[in-house]
Amino acid sequence: ATGMITLDPGYKNTGSCESAITYLDGEQGILRYRGYSIEDLADKANFLEVSYLLVFGELPTQDQLINFENDIRKYTLIHEEMKDIIDGFPKSAHPMGILASLTSALTAFNPRPVNVSSEKEIYNAVCKTLAKFLVLATWVHRKREGYPLSYYDNTKGYVENFLHLMFAIPTEPYKENPIIVDALHKLFILHADHEQNCSTSTVRIVGSSHAGLFASISSGVSALWGPLHGGANQAVIEMLEAIKNDGGDVEKYILKAKDKDDPFRLMGFGHRVYKNFDPRARIIKKAADEVLDALGIDDPVLDIAKKLEKVALEDEYFKSRNLYPNVDFYSGIIYRALGIPSEMFTVMFAIGRLPGWIAQWIEMRSGGEPIGRPRQIYVGENLRSFVPVDKR
Ligand code: SDX
Protein backbone atom coordinates (compact mmCIF):
# COMPACT_ATOMS: atom_id res chain seq x y z
CA ALA A 1 0.00 0.00 0.00
CA THR A 2 1.39 3.41 -0.85
CA GLY A 3 -0.31 5.35 1.92
CA MET A 4 -0.79 9.00 0.99
CA ILE A 5 -1.22 9.59 -2.74
CA THR A 6 0.29 12.93 -3.71
CA LEU A 7 -1.63 15.18 -6.08
CA ASP A 8 -0.29 14.74 -9.59
CA PRO A 9 -0.12 17.76 -11.91
CA GLY A 10 -3.15 16.40 -13.73
CA TYR A 11 -6.62 16.16 -12.35
CA LYS A 12 -7.17 12.42 -11.83
CA ASN A 13 -6.05 12.09 -8.22
CA THR A 14 -8.40 14.63 -6.73
CA GLY A 15 -8.79 12.82 -3.43
CA SER A 16 -6.29 11.17 -1.16
CA CYS A 17 -6.28 9.48 2.21
CA GLU A 18 -4.73 6.61 4.12
CA SER A 19 -7.06 3.67 4.60
CA ALA A 20 -6.72 0.16 6.03
CA ILE A 21 -9.98 -1.19 4.62
CA THR A 22 -9.53 -2.23 0.98
CA TYR A 23 -6.45 -2.91 -1.10
CA LEU A 24 -6.57 -2.70 -4.89
CA ASP A 25 -3.84 -3.48 -7.38
CA GLY A 26 -5.13 -2.31 -10.75
CA GLU A 27 -2.24 -3.78 -12.70
CA GLN A 28 -2.51 -7.26 -11.14
CA GLY A 29 -6.30 -7.18 -10.79
CA ILE A 30 -6.11 -7.77 -7.03
CA LEU A 31 -8.91 -6.80 -4.59
CA ARG A 32 -8.73 -7.52 -0.84
CA TYR A 33 -11.01 -6.45 2.05
CA ARG A 34 -8.98 -6.11 5.27
CA GLY A 35 -6.36 -8.45 3.74
CA TYR A 36 -8.77 -11.19 2.63
CA SER A 37 -8.96 -11.87 -1.13
CA ILE A 38 -12.25 -11.07 -2.85
CA GLU A 39 -12.19 -14.57 -4.33
CA ASP A 40 -12.09 -16.17 -0.86
CA LEU A 41 -14.76 -13.88 0.58
CA ALA A 42 -17.14 -14.24 -2.38
CA ASP A 43 -16.78 -17.99 -2.25
CA LYS A 44 -16.75 -18.69 1.50
CA ALA A 45 -18.30 -15.79 3.44
CA ASN A 46 -21.79 -14.33 3.70
CA PHE A 47 -22.73 -10.69 3.27
CA LEU A 48 -23.13 -9.83 6.97
CA GLU A 49 -19.79 -11.49 7.76
CA VAL A 50 -18.12 -9.29 5.15
CA SER A 51 -20.02 -6.22 6.36
CA TYR A 52 -18.74 -6.89 9.90
CA LEU A 53 -15.19 -7.44 8.56
CA LEU A 54 -15.19 -4.18 6.59
CA VAL A 55 -16.50 -2.09 9.49
CA PHE A 56 -14.73 -3.68 12.49
CA GLY A 57 -11.59 -5.01 10.78
CA GLU A 58 -11.92 -8.70 11.71
CA LEU A 59 -14.13 -11.58 10.57
CA PRO A 60 -16.76 -12.12 13.31
CA THR A 61 -16.82 -15.20 15.53
CA GLN A 62 -19.96 -17.32 15.36
CA ASP A 63 -21.39 -15.50 18.42
CA GLN A 64 -20.48 -12.05 17.10
CA LEU A 65 -22.18 -12.85 13.79
CA ILE A 66 -25.35 -14.14 15.49
CA ASN A 67 -25.44 -11.07 17.76
CA PHE A 68 -24.79 -8.76 14.79
CA GLU A 69 -27.74 -10.19 12.84
CA ASN A 70 -29.94 -9.96 15.98
CA ASP A 71 -28.85 -6.42 16.77
CA ILE A 72 -29.72 -5.34 13.23
CA ARG A 73 -33.23 -6.68 13.87
CA LYS A 74 -33.67 -4.12 16.66
CA TYR A 75 -33.76 -1.32 14.06
CA THR A 76 -35.75 -2.79 11.18
CA LEU A 77 -38.93 -0.80 11.85
CA ILE A 78 -39.23 2.43 9.85
CA HIS A 79 -41.04 5.46 11.31
CA GLU A 80 -44.51 5.43 9.76
CA GLU A 81 -44.20 9.12 8.80
CA MET A 82 -41.41 8.14 6.37
CA LYS A 83 -44.24 6.83 4.20
CA ASP A 84 -45.44 10.41 3.69
CA ILE A 85 -42.07 11.19 2.10
CA ILE A 86 -42.12 8.27 -0.31
CA ASP A 87 -45.77 9.07 -1.17
CA GLY A 88 -44.63 12.50 -2.35
CA PHE A 89 -42.64 11.07 -5.29
CA PRO A 90 -44.13 10.61 -8.76
CA LYS A 91 -44.07 7.03 -10.12
CA SER A 92 -41.60 8.26 -12.75
CA ALA A 93 -38.97 9.15 -10.12
CA HIS A 94 -35.75 7.10 -10.45
CA PRO A 95 -35.25 4.73 -7.50
CA MET A 96 -31.80 6.17 -6.72
CA GLY A 97 -33.24 9.67 -6.34
CA ILE A 98 -35.92 8.38 -3.98
CA LEU A 99 -33.39 6.33 -2.00
CA ALA A 100 -31.01 9.29 -1.62
CA SER A 101 -33.90 11.40 -0.26
CA LEU A 102 -35.20 8.71 2.09
CA THR A 103 -31.68 8.04 3.43
CA SER A 104 -31.16 11.72 4.17
CA ALA A 105 -34.62 11.90 5.75
CA LEU A 106 -33.53 9.24 8.29
CA THR A 107 -31.67 12.08 10.02
CA ALA A 108 -34.98 13.77 10.78
CA PHE A 109 -36.17 10.68 12.67
CA ASN A 110 -32.75 9.88 14.20
CA PRO A 111 -31.34 13.36 14.86
CA ARG A 112 -28.74 12.51 17.54
CA PRO A 113 -25.25 12.55 15.93
CA VAL A 114 -23.13 9.41 16.31
CA ASN A 115 -20.57 9.84 19.11
CA VAL A 116 -17.59 8.37 17.23
CA SER A 117 -15.57 8.04 20.45
CA SER A 118 -18.06 5.46 21.72
CA GLU A 119 -17.62 1.93 20.31
CA LYS A 120 -21.15 1.05 21.45
CA GLU A 121 -22.66 4.05 19.64
CA ILE A 122 -20.72 3.22 16.49
CA TYR A 123 -21.86 -0.40 16.66
CA ASN A 124 -25.51 0.62 17.11
CA ALA A 125 -25.27 3.16 14.27
CA VAL A 126 -23.88 0.44 11.97
CA CYS A 127 -26.76 -1.92 12.82
CA LYS A 128 -29.34 0.85 12.45
CA THR A 129 -28.01 1.96 9.07
CA LEU A 130 -27.79 -1.56 7.63
CA ALA A 131 -31.35 -2.27 8.87
CA LYS A 132 -33.14 0.85 7.73
CA PHE A 133 -31.35 1.28 4.39
CA LEU A 134 -32.33 -2.23 3.28
CA VAL A 135 -36.01 -1.66 4.08
CA LEU A 136 -36.08 1.77 2.40
CA ALA A 137 -34.31 0.42 -0.70
CA THR A 138 -37.03 -2.21 -1.15
CA TRP A 139 -39.83 0.27 -0.38
CA VAL A 140 -38.69 2.17 -3.47
CA HIS A 141 -39.47 -0.90 -5.59
CA ARG A 142 -42.75 -1.65 -3.81
CA LYS A 143 -43.98 1.90 -4.34
CA ARG A 144 -43.16 1.84 -8.06
CA GLU A 145 -44.90 -1.53 -8.48
CA GLY A 146 -47.98 -0.47 -6.50
CA TYR A 147 -47.39 -3.06 -3.77
CA PRO A 148 -48.08 -2.32 -0.06
CA LEU A 149 -44.87 -1.31 1.73
CA SER A 150 -43.52 -4.38 3.52
CA TYR A 151 -41.90 -4.98 6.91
CA TYR A 152 -38.68 -6.80 7.77
CA ASP A 153 -39.38 -10.34 9.03
CA ASN A 154 -37.20 -10.80 12.12
CA THR A 155 -37.41 -14.59 11.73
CA LYS A 156 -35.44 -14.42 8.45
CA GLY A 157 -31.83 -13.59 7.58
CA TYR A 158 -30.67 -10.25 6.17
CA VAL A 159 -30.37 -11.30 2.52
CA GLU A 160 -33.51 -13.47 2.75
CA ASN A 161 -35.25 -10.36 4.00
CA PHE A 162 -34.18 -8.46 0.91
CA LEU A 163 -36.18 -10.94 -1.18
CA HIS A 164 -39.06 -10.97 1.32
CA LEU A 165 -39.20 -7.15 1.42
CA MET A 166 -39.01 -6.91 -2.38
CA PHE A 167 -41.33 -9.67 -3.51
CA ALA A 168 -43.53 -11.04 -0.68
CA ILE A 169 -47.20 -10.07 -1.09
CA PRO A 170 -49.78 -10.28 1.75
CA THR A 171 -52.01 -12.69 -0.15
CA GLU A 172 -49.52 -15.56 -0.35
CA PRO A 173 -46.43 -16.77 1.58
CA TYR A 174 -43.03 -16.13 -0.07
CA LYS A 175 -40.43 -18.91 -0.27
CA GLU A 176 -36.86 -17.82 -0.99
CA ASN A 177 -34.97 -19.85 -3.58
CA PRO A 178 -31.58 -20.79 -1.99
CA ILE A 179 -29.88 -20.38 -5.39
CA ILE A 180 -31.01 -16.76 -5.50
CA VAL A 181 -30.05 -16.16 -1.86
CA ASP A 182 -26.52 -17.49 -2.52
CA ALA A 183 -26.18 -15.38 -5.67
CA LEU A 184 -27.23 -12.26 -3.76
CA HIS A 185 -24.72 -12.88 -0.96
CA LYS A 186 -22.01 -13.13 -3.62
CA LEU A 187 -23.17 -10.04 -5.52
CA PHE A 188 -23.50 -7.88 -2.39
CA ILE A 189 -20.04 -9.02 -1.20
CA LEU A 190 -18.47 -8.18 -4.57
CA HIS A 191 -19.91 -4.66 -4.38
CA ALA A 192 -19.20 -4.07 -0.69
CA ASP A 193 -16.19 -1.77 -0.94
CA HIS A 194 -13.73 -0.55 -3.51
CA GLU A 195 -11.23 1.86 -1.95
CA GLN A 196 -11.65 5.54 -2.85
CA ASN A 197 -14.12 5.30 -5.75
CA CYS A 198 -16.32 8.25 -6.62
CA SER A 199 -19.20 7.50 -4.23
CA THR A 200 -16.98 6.41 -1.33
CA SER A 201 -14.83 9.53 -1.67
CA THR A 202 -18.08 11.51 -1.63
CA VAL A 203 -19.17 9.82 1.61
CA ARG A 204 -15.79 10.58 3.18
CA ILE A 205 -15.63 14.20 2.09
CA VAL A 206 -19.23 14.94 3.13
CA GLY A 207 -18.62 13.18 6.46
CA SER A 208 -15.38 15.12 6.95
CA SER A 209 -17.45 18.27 7.55
CA HIS A 210 -19.03 16.28 10.43
CA ALA A 211 -22.30 15.94 8.54
CA GLY A 212 -24.16 12.93 9.92
CA LEU A 213 -23.81 9.31 8.79
CA PHE A 214 -27.21 9.23 7.02
CA ALA A 215 -26.50 12.52 5.23
CA SER A 216 -23.10 11.20 4.14
CA ILE A 217 -24.53 7.89 2.91
CA SER A 218 -27.23 9.81 1.05
CA SER A 219 -24.52 11.76 -0.81
CA GLY A 220 -22.87 8.44 -1.71
CA VAL A 221 -26.15 7.22 -3.18
CA SER A 222 -26.33 10.33 -5.35
CA ALA A 223 -22.76 9.90 -6.58
CA LEU A 224 -23.29 6.19 -7.31
CA TRP A 225 -26.36 7.04 -9.44
CA GLY A 226 -24.27 8.42 -12.29
CA PRO A 227 -23.99 6.22 -15.43
CA LEU A 228 -20.18 6.43 -15.33
CA HIS A 229 -20.25 4.86 -11.85
CA GLY A 230 -22.91 2.59 -10.34
CA GLY A 231 -25.52 3.63 -12.89
CA ALA A 232 -23.49 1.67 -15.44
CA ASN A 233 -25.12 -1.64 -14.48
CA GLN A 234 -28.50 -0.35 -15.65
CA ALA A 235 -26.87 1.22 -18.74
CA VAL A 236 -25.21 -2.12 -19.60
CA ILE A 237 -28.51 -3.98 -19.77
CA GLU A 238 -30.08 -1.15 -21.80
CA MET A 239 -27.08 -1.34 -24.18
CA LEU A 240 -27.30 -5.15 -24.49
CA GLU A 241 -31.05 -4.93 -25.07
CA ALA A 242 -30.46 -2.33 -27.82
CA ILE A 243 -27.90 -4.63 -29.48
CA LYS A 244 -30.31 -7.58 -29.24
CA ASN A 245 -33.10 -5.50 -30.79
CA ASP A 246 -30.65 -4.37 -33.46
CA GLY A 247 -30.12 -7.94 -34.69
CA GLY A 248 -27.27 -8.70 -32.26
CA ASP A 249 -24.80 -6.68 -34.34
CA VAL A 250 -22.08 -6.24 -31.69
CA GLU A 251 -19.49 -5.07 -34.24
CA LYS A 252 -21.69 -2.03 -34.98
CA TYR A 253 -21.63 -1.03 -31.29
CA ILE A 254 -17.90 -1.66 -30.97
CA LEU A 255 -17.39 0.76 -33.87
CA LYS A 256 -19.69 3.32 -32.19
CA ALA A 257 -17.71 3.00 -28.93
CA LYS A 258 -14.46 3.67 -30.81
CA ASP A 259 -15.82 6.64 -32.74
CA LYS A 260 -14.49 9.84 -31.15
CA ASP A 261 -17.43 11.79 -32.57
CA ASP A 262 -19.93 9.41 -31.02
CA PRO A 263 -20.60 9.93 -27.27
CA PHE A 264 -21.53 6.23 -26.95
CA ARG A 265 -19.23 4.23 -24.65
CA LEU A 266 -19.21 0.50 -24.11
CA MET A 267 -20.98 0.46 -20.75
CA GLY A 268 -19.50 -1.98 -18.25
CA PHE A 269 -16.07 -1.62 -19.87
CA GLY A 270 -13.04 0.27 -18.60
CA HIS A 271 -12.01 1.35 -15.14
CA ARG A 272 -10.03 4.19 -13.58
CA VAL A 273 -7.86 1.78 -11.57
CA TYR A 274 -8.07 -1.70 -13.11
CA LYS A 275 -5.89 -1.85 -16.20
CA ASN A 276 -6.40 -5.58 -16.15
CA PHE A 277 -9.52 -7.71 -15.73
CA ASP A 278 -11.69 -6.49 -12.81
CA PRO A 279 -11.51 -9.57 -10.52
CA ARG A 280 -15.17 -9.02 -9.61
CA ALA A 281 -16.24 -9.22 -13.26
CA ARG A 282 -14.58 -12.62 -13.56
CA ILE A 283 -16.49 -13.95 -10.52
CA ILE A 284 -19.81 -12.40 -11.60
CA LYS A 285 -19.47 -13.78 -15.15
CA LYS A 286 -19.10 -17.30 -13.71
CA ALA A 287 -22.00 -16.70 -11.31
CA ALA A 288 -24.19 -15.51 -14.20
CA ASP A 289 -23.66 -18.80 -15.99
CA GLU A 290 -24.36 -20.79 -12.80
CA VAL A 291 -27.47 -18.86 -11.76
CA LEU A 292 -29.11 -18.82 -15.19
CA ASP A 293 -28.31 -22.51 -15.62
CA ALA A 294 -29.66 -23.41 -12.15
CA LEU A 295 -32.82 -21.37 -12.73
CA GLY A 296 -33.20 -22.83 -16.23
CA ILE A 297 -33.13 -19.37 -17.81
CA ASP A 298 -31.82 -18.95 -21.34
CA ASP A 299 -31.24 -15.19 -21.69
CA PRO A 300 -30.04 -14.14 -25.18
CA VAL A 301 -28.65 -10.98 -23.59
CA LEU A 302 -26.01 -13.12 -21.79
CA ASP A 303 -24.91 -14.55 -25.14
CA ILE A 304 -24.68 -11.02 -26.56
CA ALA A 305 -22.61 -9.91 -23.54
CA LYS A 306 -20.16 -12.76 -24.07
CA LYS A 307 -19.90 -12.04 -27.81
CA LEU A 308 -19.40 -8.32 -27.14
CA GLU A 309 -16.70 -9.07 -24.55
CA LYS A 310 -14.90 -11.45 -26.93
CA VAL A 311 -14.89 -8.98 -29.85
CA ALA A 312 -13.83 -6.04 -27.65
CA LEU A 313 -11.00 -7.95 -25.95
CA GLU A 314 -9.57 -8.82 -29.38
CA ASP A 315 -9.89 -5.22 -30.65
CA GLU A 316 -6.74 -3.03 -30.73
CA TYR A 317 -8.64 0.08 -29.51
CA PHE A 318 -9.72 -1.63 -26.29
CA LYS A 319 -6.50 -3.59 -25.83
CA SER A 320 -4.30 -0.51 -26.28
CA ARG A 321 -6.33 1.34 -23.65
CA ASN A 322 -6.49 -1.58 -21.21
CA LEU A 323 -10.27 -1.59 -21.35
CA TYR A 324 -11.71 -4.73 -19.77
CA PRO A 325 -15.18 -5.67 -18.44
CA ASN A 326 -15.77 -4.19 -14.98
CA VAL A 327 -18.05 -5.16 -12.12
CA ASP A 328 -21.09 -3.71 -13.91
CA PHE A 329 -20.78 -5.70 -17.11
CA TYR A 330 -22.40 -8.96 -15.99
CA SER A 331 -24.18 -8.04 -12.74
CA GLY A 332 -27.35 -6.82 -14.47
CA ILE A 333 -27.79 -10.17 -16.20
CA ILE A 334 -28.07 -11.89 -12.83
CA TYR A 335 -30.33 -9.19 -11.37
CA ARG A 336 -32.63 -9.65 -14.38
CA ALA A 337 -32.72 -13.39 -13.83
CA LEU A 338 -33.71 -12.73 -10.20
CA GLY A 339 -36.70 -10.69 -11.40
CA ILE A 340 -35.28 -7.31 -10.41
CA PRO A 341 -36.26 -4.44 -12.77
CA SER A 342 -33.35 -2.59 -14.42
CA GLU A 343 -34.24 0.72 -12.73
CA MET A 344 -33.42 -1.05 -9.44
CA PHE A 345 -29.99 -2.35 -10.51
CA THR A 346 -28.08 0.61 -9.09
CA VAL A 347 -30.07 0.31 -5.87
CA MET A 348 -28.70 -3.26 -5.70
CA PHE A 349 -25.21 -1.80 -6.05
CA ALA A 350 -25.97 0.64 -3.21
CA ILE A 351 -27.19 -2.16 -0.89
CA GLY A 352 -23.93 -4.01 -1.53
CA ARG A 353 -21.76 -0.89 -1.15
CA LEU A 354 -23.41 0.28 2.07
CA PRO A 355 -21.05 -1.51 4.50
CA GLY A 356 -18.08 -0.08 2.63
CA TRP A 357 -19.44 3.44 2.86
CA ILE A 358 -20.13 2.97 6.57
CA ALA A 359 -16.65 1.51 7.19
CA GLN A 360 -14.94 4.34 5.32
CA TRP A 361 -17.00 7.02 7.10
CA ILE A 362 -16.14 5.52 10.52
CA GLU A 363 -12.45 5.23 9.59
CA MET A 364 -12.37 8.86 8.49
CA ARG A 365 -14.26 10.19 11.56
CA SER A 366 -12.52 7.95 14.12
CA GLY A 367 -9.20 8.94 12.62
CA GLY A 368 -10.01 12.60 13.29
CA GLU A 369 -9.39 13.49 9.65
CA PRO A 370 -9.62 17.22 8.90
CA ILE A 371 -12.36 18.58 6.64
CA GLY A 372 -11.77 17.50 3.05
CA ARG A 373 -10.57 20.38 0.89
CA PRO A 374 -9.19 19.32 -2.55
CA ARG A 375 -6.98 21.97 -4.11
CA GLN A 376 -6.90 23.07 -7.79
CA ILE A 377 -4.53 24.28 -10.48
CA TYR A 378 -5.83 27.75 -11.40
CA VAL A 379 -5.93 28.17 -15.19
CA GLY A 380 -8.19 31.28 -15.37
CA GLU A 381 -7.57 34.97 -16.10
CA ASN A 382 -4.81 37.08 -14.51
CA LEU A 383 -5.78 40.24 -12.56
CA ARG A 384 -7.78 42.69 -14.72
CA SER A 385 -9.59 46.05 -14.16
CA PHE A 386 -13.35 46.36 -13.86
CA VAL A 387 -15.14 47.88 -16.90
CA PRO A 388 -18.45 49.71 -16.23
CA VAL A 389 -21.41 48.17 -18.02
CA ASP A 390 -21.89 51.14 -20.36
CA LYS A 391 -18.28 50.72 -21.56
CA ARG A 392 -18.43 46.94 -22.31
C1 SDX B 1 -17.62 1.56 -11.32
O2 SDX B 1 -13.71 3.67 -9.21
C3 SDX B 1 -14.28 2.55 -8.91
O4 SDX B 1 -13.71 1.74 -8.20
C5 SDX B 1 -15.66 2.36 -9.48
C6 SDX B 1 -16.28 0.99 -9.28
C7 SDX B 1 -16.56 0.72 -7.82
O8 SDX B 1 -16.60 -0.46 -7.44
O9 SDX B 1 -16.85 1.70 -7.08
O10 SDX B 1 -15.43 0.00 -9.79
C11 SDX B 1 -17.62 0.89 -9.98
O12 SDX B 1 -17.96 2.71 -11.41
C13 SDX B 1 -17.14 0.79 -12.51
C14 SDX B 1 -17.15 1.66 -13.81
C15 SDX B 1 -18.58 1.64 -14.38
N16 SDX B 1 -18.66 2.61 -15.53
C17 SDX B 1 -18.79 2.16 -16.79
O18 SDX B 1 -18.78 0.97 -17.12
C19 SDX B 1 -18.99 3.28 -17.82
C20 SDX B 1 -18.13 3.02 -19.06
N21 SDX B 1 -16.74 3.21 -18.65
C22 SDX B 1 -16.12 4.48 -18.95
O23 SDX B 1 -16.97 5.57 -18.91
C24 SDX B 1 -14.75 4.64 -18.30
O25 SDX B 1 -14.04 3.52 -18.58
C26 SDX B 1 -14.64 4.92 -16.80
C27 SDX B 1 -15.46 6.11 -16.41
C28 SDX B 1 -15.06 3.74 -16.00
C29 SDX B 1 -13.19 5.19 -16.50
O30 SDX B 1 -12.86 6.33 -17.18
P31 SDX B 1 -11.35 6.88 -17.20
O32 SDX B 1 -10.40 6.03 -16.45
O33 SDX B 1 -11.44 8.33 -16.85
O34 SDX B 1 -10.94 6.63 -18.66
P35 SDX B 1 -10.85 7.78 -19.69
O36 SDX B 1 -12.18 8.46 -19.75
O37 SDX B 1 -9.63 8.60 -19.37
O38 SDX B 1 -10.64 6.96 -21.04
C39 SDX B 1 -9.33 6.59 -21.48
C40 SDX B 1 -9.54 6.23 -22.94
C41 SDX B 1 -10.31 7.32 -23.69
O42 SDX B 1 -9.95 7.22 -25.07
P43 SDX B 1 -8.78 8.26 -25.62
O44 SDX B 1 -9.17 9.65 -25.20
O45 SDX B 1 -7.49 7.75 -24.96
O46 SDX B 1 -8.78 8.04 -27.12
O47 SDX B 1 -10.35 5.06 -23.02
C48 SDX B 1 -11.57 5.38 -23.67
C49 SDX B 1 -11.73 6.87 -23.59
O50 SDX B 1 -12.55 7.37 -24.64
N51 SDX B 1 -12.63 4.68 -22.94
C52 SDX B 1 -13.64 4.05 -23.51
C53 SDX B 1 -14.36 3.46 -22.46
N54 SDX B 1 -13.77 3.75 -21.29
C55 SDX B 1 -12.69 4.51 -21.59
N56 SDX B 1 -14.02 3.93 -24.79
C57 SDX B 1 -15.14 3.20 -25.04
N58 SDX B 1 -15.88 2.59 -24.08
C59 SDX B 1 -15.52 2.71 -22.78
N60 SDX B 1 -16.25 2.13 -21.84
* Exposure string for 1-16, b = 16+ CB within 10 A, e = fewer: eeeeeeeeeeeeeebe
15: three-class secondary structure by DSSP: coil
Q: What Å distances lie between residue 54 and 32, 90, 278, 353, CA to CA?
A: 10, 36, 20, 11
Residues 6+ apart with CB under 8 A from 78: 132, 135, 136, 139
- Residue in 268, 127, 271 with CA at minimum distance from that of residue 194: 271
Q: Tens digits of per-residue pLDDT, 226-275?
A: 999 999 999 999 999 999 999 999 999 999 999 999 999 999 999 999 99
Higher pLDDT, 1 or 145: 145
pLDDT digits (tens, 9 = 90+) for 174-188: 999 999 999 999 999
The reported pLDDT for the residue numbered 326 is 94
Q: b/e map of 270-301 (b: 16 or more CB within 10 Å)?
A: bbebbeebbbbbbbbbebbeebbeebeeebeb
* Beta bridge partners of residue 25, listed in sequence order: 30
Under the banding of pLDDT at 50, 70 and 90, the label for residue 115 is: very high
pLDDT in tens, 279-310: 999 999 999 999 999 999 999 999 999 999 99
34-55: pLDDT as tens digits: 999 999 999 999 999 999 999 9
In this predicted structure, what is the pLDDT of residue 173? 85
* Nearest-5° Cα angle at 194, 276 to 70: 140
Query: Strand, helix or coil at 317?
Result: helix
Atom of ligand 1 nearest to the CA of 199: 9
306 vs 312: CA distance, rounded Å: 10
Distance 7 CA to ligand 1 centre (A): 20
Span 253-266, pLDDT tens digits: 999 999 999 999 99
Catalytic residues: 271, 328
What pTM was computed for the model?
A: 0.94
Q: Indicate the pLDDT class of residue 15, thresholds 50, 70 and 90.
A: low
Please give the DSSP secondary-structure letter assigned to residue 384.
-
CB 33 within 8 A of CB 192: yes
The count of other CB atoms within 10 Å of the CB of residue 146 is 7
Residues with CB under 6 A from ligand 1: 194, 197-198, 228-229, 232, 257, 265-273, 321, 323, 326-328
Pocket test for ligand 1, best of 229, 234, 262 (most atoms within 8 A of CB): 229
First to last CA, the chain: 55
**Which atom of ligand 1 is closest in space to residue 197's alpha carbon?**
2
| Atom 48 (ligand 1) nearest CA | 321
Residue 14 pLDDT greater than 80, yes or no? no
